[in-house]
Amino acid sequence: MCDPADALPEAVRERTLARFEEHRRAWQSNRALRAAYRDWYGLIRANLPAPELGPWIEIGSGPGFAKEFIPELILTDVVQASWHERQVSAEALPFADGSVGALVLFDVLHHVGATATFFAEAQRVLSPGGRLVLVEPYISLVSHFVYGRFHEEPVIMGVDPLQPASLAEAKDPFASNQAVPTLLFARQGGRAFAQAFPGLAVTRLRRFAGLAYPATGGFNRKALVPFGLWRALHAMEGLLPEAVFRWLGFRMLVVIEKR
């Protein structure tokens, strides 16, 4: 397998590392964002398999927040910062066949240039019973409007998510299409994914996170409401039935198990 660093120009590496540092600063100043991520990493942890199946590895760890919530995770990224344990490309996983217990991706799948290549690699390296655990954007009626008008990353619905992105996009780790996870798993019952990867079974799909998510301000803005009000909104959303988030949701949890 090729070294993932070879595909990235130095200017892209430097820009990516600077973006990581910007996100780390935003994280420290945004209490609502930290609280939301704590809950979402809790969802991830609750769906990880037994440690005996092999190591838990996060792909695309970026600013490295996962370690705070799941200390056992091995942090990796295609652009390695000081807090990452390994440099890893999602499309060329440097792990032996059947050796990994879990691959965790938090807001990463929609940045992967060759989605099908990644899933083929995941299918190869996961041990039987090992899992992919993903938290990704979900494109609902409400989130499509908000993401499309207020988020820097595009939402492009009219694509085949199993086809690779252009080479130009693939050279930028932050190139993305937020629609990819929804197209893969929430549209048409995920049939195209099931046909392409019969060795991987989607065992859980959960839509969640309503307007409390954009109210955090994300990494580019301050929280839009005081923390007490945000916390009340977040708690209220936790009481809503999951069906509501088909129309209101901004996030999705996907758990995929190797047969």
pLDDT digits (tens, 9 = 90+) for 54-85: 999 999 999 999 999 999 999 999 999 999 99
pLDDT for the residue numbered 20: 97
The fraction of the chain above a pLDDT of 90, given in percent, is: 86
Residue type, 46: A
Average pLDDT, the chain: 93
pLDDT at 171 over 80: no
Residue 138 is classified by DSSP as: -
Exposed e or buried b for every residue in 7-25, given b needs 16+ CB within 10 A? Answer: bbeeebeeebeebbeebbe
The C-alpha atoms of residue 108 and residue 122 are separated, in whole angstroms, by: 14
pLDDT for the residue numbered 189: 80
Nearest to 17 by CA among 50, 61, 68, 74: 61
The C-alpha atoms of residue 110 and residue 96 are separated, in whole angstroms, by: 25
CB neighbour list of residue 162: distance below 8 Å, 6 or more residues apart: 115, 116, 184, 192, 193, 196
The answer to whether 223 touches 174, Cβ cutoff 8 Å, is no
Nearest to 153 by CA among 130, 164, 171, 169: 169
Backbone φ/ψ region at 189: left (φ over 0), alpha (ψ -120 to 50), beta: left
Residue 258 is classified by DSSP as: E
Element containing residue 205 per DSSP (H, E): strand 200-208
pLDDT at 47 over 80: yes
Fold of 4-258: Rossmann fold (3.40.50)
Least confident range of 159-168, 224-233, 245-254:
159-168
> What is the average per-residue pLDDT within 125-139?
98
pLDDT digits (tens, 9 = 90+) for 189-206: 889 999 999 999 999 999
pLDDT at 234 over 50: yes
Q: Which residues pair with 87 in a beta bridge?
A: 77
Two structure tokens written together for 110: 């929609």
Q: pLDDT band at residue 168, thresholds of 50, 70 and 90?
A: very low
Q: Where are the domains of the chain?
A: 4-258
- Concatenated DSSP letters of 150-184: H-SS----SS-TTSPPPHHHHT-TT---TTHHIII
The count of other CB atoms within 10 Å of the CB of residue 215 is 17
Q: How many Cα neighbours within 13 Å face the side chain of 130? A: 23
pLDDT for the residue numbered 152: 87
The C-alpha atoms of residue 83 and residue 75 are separated, in whole angstroms, by: 8
pLDDT at 146 over 50: yes
Inter-axis angle of helices 31-46 and 227-237, nearest 10: 30
pLDDT at 163 over 60: yes
The count of other CB atoms within 10 Å of the CB of residue 126 is 29
